[in-house]
Structure 1
Amino acid sequence: MGNREDLLAGAKACLIERGWARTTVRDIAAAAGVSHAAIGYHFGSRDALLTQALVQAVDELSDELAQVPADEPEQRWQALIDSFTTHRALWVAQLEAMVQAERSPEVRDHLAKGQREGREGMGGSVPLALLTGLMMQWLLDPEHAPSGADVTTELSALS
């Protein structure tokens, strides 16, 4: 791997271990085994690097979740719900990035692009909104959050 790839891998590791807000340029450089000046050279800023690392990590999770058959809605919802536990740090990092987007047009642009892709991948804005609400329920109160079966039952009742 080159410095750019090492930095992306280091930034992903830091996002998972430390979260967005607590990850410093020094943390990323140490995890990547490169000079912190390489961040500016390859990405321009810490936020740009963290955003790209987050997008890459979310893409990897999406690829993992895409293995669940599309014609099994209960299983698909359950796989998403399970990822709130197995990939909790990644979901939290996404929430942190959303807060950062309020003050960073660059982060906002990347996240907005991800939202558009998410809507396409999930079949519209309603499933994406449902996913966001489920994520919040699972991160805050997993003992009382709905299962995949609950989601599909309630969606059927709505239609």
Structure 2
Amino acid sequence: MPMTHYMELLAQNQPWNLILFMAIPVILAETVAITELFILLLRSRGGWLRALNRLASILAGVYFLGVFAYLLPNVVVPLTLTGQWRGMIDMIAVGFYLSGAIPLAGLALLDLGVLARSSPEERKLFLHALLVAAFLVLSHVAMIFGMMNPYLIDQDAAHMPTEHMINH
């Protein structure tokens, strides 16, 4: 079955691409999400749980900005310039994956004290939870579309010459 570029990226260079582009960001984001639930439930404003959440948020934001900075010029721009996208599903999968950099960068900026610096603690908790939720939605949309046959919607793209279906 044909793969999206998202899934192809994860499948190549095993296990390194899977670790670099999926495992590390997901482990950091899931650490943030899980600790976020306990912080909200317990209204914890300090302690080791909040420190772990803050560290994971900052690391996830910085790390994923690096992933974004690498993939945009090395994958997205070449695919766009050469017309090698495998249809709309392919573009949605990659686009939603990369757009996860926005909420993760927001989390890092929030926990570094750059964003919402003078806001009350309740407002920061709300914004933090909102950014975590946004990342989870974006990443799950990317995963769902990434696992689909990229030609399911755009049947015409499936008839492109095979030289357009090279590995990236």
Output the TM-score relative to the length of structure 2.
0.35
Higher CA-based Rg: 2
Higher relative contact order (CA 8 A, sep 6+): 2
